[in-house]
Amino acid sequence: MISLLKSSKARQYLVVFIVNLTILTTGMSLAWPSPVLVKLRSIETPLHRRITDEEGSWIVSIGSLCITFGLSFLGMLQDCIGRKYCLILTCIPKVLVSILFVFAKDMWMLIFGRAIIGSADFYLLTVVPVYASEIADKDIRGSLGTFLQIFSSLGVVLTMSVGPFVSYTTYSIVFAAMNLFMSIPILFLPDSPFFLYSKGKKDKAIDVLKFLRGSEELAKEEISMYDKSLNNQKIEIKSLLKDRVFLKTLGISIIFGATTQVTGFNAISFYLQTILESTKTNLMPEIASIIISLIQLLASCSSAFVIDRFQRKRMLITSFIGLLLGLIGMGAFFKIRENTQEVTGFMNYLPLISLILVVYCYSAGIGSLFWVVIAELFDGPARAVGVTICIIVTSFGIFLTTKYFATLTTAIGPSMTYWFFGIACAFSALFIYYCVPETKGKSFKEIQMALGAKVGM
């Protein structure tokens, strides 16, 4: 079917579309705690007993903690067996664990399952951006990169639209079926042409590039870029860690990854329905969750249309400023709630408006651009290693914010917690302005030059 498409760009869009089908189930998995934690805490819990808040925080955060320690090993697989087979290996535990959830009756089964499926999801978030960036032309690399956030948001919408309104078992069956069916198309994808060339399979790399670029001339031109990038040398981690440009890029990427977590967005997403219930407004938490998830999907889709028209830095800075305003609104609501027992009028809608602003600005900016930019910042031989290290740090940040969000809220109060995240957003915007290079419309070589690499590299 793919080969029947006449347009080379259409083929690139279809390949990246297929690889991101797995991200749809990742979005479902990331949103899984929002409706499920409420069910696990209720009298009608599917387990032998109701869970505690501490157990709930481990269910939410255990996956990001496990991948923090396991990703350094898993990252090597990308350059050993290739991007495609890493995707296949990642889908297998997702399918098996989602089936386990259907029959789970004990707490250890859920924590074990979330550890495995969370690790698989975070690893998938490492492989897919690398694969997509090596498939796409530089002119459409940005819009194709936003597919990850779009499909993740679509998965969130599915969870929020189904999870709160059906039983735990019914939702688990839906989740398992989606994991199975979304994994099958991966078997029919080509591997990354850059990986094929790096393994000495030049003819196969040219065939894939001819299919993706539409002509043998363009394919050979890209192969010559691969040759310069690889420089006929086997890349070793030790040599990379001595490379000044790589270290600079890695430092920027790690701080950039950390800034995406100090916004508190993931903590808000995982505990969304719980947060909405804590506001004690007249809005139904289940309906509000659907509205917010639809806004997230709309933001992700809109990002795909503008990402190749506007500078990356400008979009990121605007995104952080919008988050700042939304977090100020959330903090203000809970501060006012400290002095009154009942909220009326506009105050009933302030949490929903603030959360919509947070979700929209994150999904339209940071959430879509993060995966694009970190894959663009690294040169070909260093991309898998650099992105992997960056995701390790980012996943640990996700663990800290999701595990201790409830603890921080209890310790300093919800208003101060949201304002703390807001202040972090302001500092993050300044970091993007002064430290992150613009990558829009630039080749990987031009980006490396902007980071200080020599022209003849």
Q: Same domain for 211 and 251?
A: no
pTM over 0.85: no
The number of folded domains in the chain is: 2
Token representation of residue 428: 């993050």
Q: Is residue 295 pLDDT above 80, yes or no?
A: yes
Q: Is residue 74 pLDDT above 60, yes or no?
A: yes
Residues 338-376 have pLDDT tens digits of: 777 666 677 778 888 888 898 888 888 887 788 778 878
Which letter does DSSP use for residue 309 in this model?
A: T
Q: Maximum Cα–Cα distance for the chain, whole Å? A: 71
The reply to whether 45 falls in a domain is yes
Q: Same domain for 349 and 399?
A: yes
Q: Same domain for 258 and 212?
A: no
Q: Is residue 455 pLDDT above 60, yes or no?
A: no
The reply to whether 222 falls in a domain is yes
Residues 135-171 have pLDDT tens digits of: 877 777 777 777 887 898 899 889 988 988 899 999 9
Q: Same domain for 208 and 140?
A: no
Domain boundary among 232, 255, 288: 232
Q: Same domain for 360 and 296?
A: yes
Residues 393-440 have pLDDT tens digits of: 888 888 888 888 888 888 888 889 999 999 999 999 999 998 888 887
Q: Same domain for 213 and 174?
A: no
The reply to whether 16 falls in a domain is yes
Amino acid letter, 331: G
Q: Same domain for 225 and 238?
A: no
Q: Same domain for 251 and 228?
A: no
The reply to whether 356 falls in a domain is yes
pLDDT of res. 457: 45
Domain that holds residue 220: 197-232
pLDDT of res. 178: 95
The reply to whether 22 falls in a domain is yes
pLDDT of res. 71: 67
pLDDT of res. 236: 64
pLDDT of res. 113: 93
Token representation of residue 163: 């999870």
Contact 390, 254 (CB under 8 A): yes
Res. 93 pLDDT band, cuts 50 70 90: very high
Q: What is the mean pLDDT of residues 14-26?
A: 91
The reply to whether 455 falls in a domain is no
The reply to whether 415 falls in a domain is yes
Q: Same domain for 276 and 206?
A: no
Query: Any idea what the CATH number is for the domain that residue 113 is in?
Result: 1.20.1250.20
The reply to whether 456 falls in a domain is no
Q: What is the mean pLDDT of residues 37-46?
A: 85
Looking at every residue in the chain, the average pLDDT score rounds to: 83
Q: Same domain for 210 and 227?
A: yes
pLDDT of res. 390: 84
Q: Same domain for 67 and 150?
A: yes
Q: Same domain for 285 and 426?
A: yes
For 153-186, give one letter per residue: b (16+ CB within 10 A) or e: bbbbbbbbebbbeeebeebbbbbbebbbebbeeb
Candidate from 233-247, 261-275, 298-312 with smallest mean pLDDT: 233-247
